[in-house]
Amino acid sequence: MLKQPIYVEFNLDDKVSSSKLIAISHVDDRYSEIIEVALMQNGRHIYAGGATVVARMVLHRGKDYLLSDDVTCTVNANGNILIPFDNAVVKTLQDVVKIEVNITRDTDELTLQFPLWVSVNGSILDNAEVTPESEGTISDLLKEAADALEDAKEALGRFGSYSNLEDKPQINGVTLDGDKTSGELRVAGWKTAEIDNCIEDGVLYSTSINNQAAYVLARNITTDITQYAFCRDGRVMWRTRQAETQWQPAGEWSAWSEIE
């Protein structure tokens, strides 16, 4: 655990919700975010040992959208409730998350009268555009694929047949010779689909763009989908659209933009 539990006291006598923000986390966090809730009443600590505790979580974006109604919580040696709330237990999304706590012990059942509030920050990568100057995993893959396609095109022009090449192009260090599986090429996957359906995250697709053969890498981050295309004519392009979710309809694809 990289981070200690966030301690908060919850007063069972409260009649008005303070709606106080308890914690700020990140959409990438996993096995890091836990709220430790100490129940209080009449100025005394309420021991929750022996109870079964479940958290219900909703994303608040103007209105509430269900994330999970069955997140298992534990009770520590001090009798306090431990509530995990990151990607280890639920797919977190950027915005405010409200957490309702349900406690049962034998025939007794209690739901805390007010929810706990936490905030989840998104990644700076979510709205970042890839430019020719971009560096890192995605841009490196795009450039490597583009270089491999250009090498193949030039070589075929010189030698007439791909089988005649002595120095064949590579992707991820694997020589493009014969029928290669996605595992051999060290890519996340390989599928054939119509271009508008190439949306599964981390999957490399064989498809076409305006009747031009292309390979497309999809990046789906729940709220947005981006396609990176490696065209057979040597161009490297990208486009994006809003993804369809419980709280938003699918958007229209943006125009293709070429990466030089």
Contacts of 238 (CB under 8 A, 6+ apart): 130, 226, 227, 228, 229, 256, 257, 259
Q: Partners of 200 in the beta sheet?
A: none
Residue 128: inside a domain, yes or no?
A: no
How many domains is the chain partitioned into structurally?
A: 2
Model-wide pTM > 0.75:
no
Residue 95: inside a domain, yes or no?
A: yes
Q: How far is CA 57 from the centre of its chain?
A: 18
pLDDT tens-digit profile, the chain (260 residues): 789 999 999 999 999 886 678 999 998 899 999 999 999 999 999 999 999 999 999 998 878 888 999 999 999 999 999 999 998 898 877 889 999 999 999 999 999 999 999 999 988 766 666 566 666 666 566 666 666 666 666 655 665 555 665 666 565 566 656 555 545 555 544 578 889 888 888 788 888 888 778 888 888 877 788 888 888 777 788 888 988 876 778 889 999 888 76
Same domain? For 163 and 61 the reply is: no
| Domain region containing 215 | 137-259
Residue 72: inside a domain, yes or no?
A: yes
Residue 131: inside a domain, yes or no?
A: no
Residue 130: inside a domain, yes or no?
A: no
Same domain? For 103 and 165 the reply is: no
Same domain? For 254 and 142 the reply is: yes
Same domain? For 222 and 189 the reply is: yes
SS3 readout for 128-196: CCCCCCCCCHHHHHHHHHHHHHHHHHHHHHHHCCHHHCCCCCEECCEECCCCCCHHHHCCCCEEECCHH
Same domain? For 112 and 150 the reply is: no
Residue 129: inside a domain, yes or no?
A: no
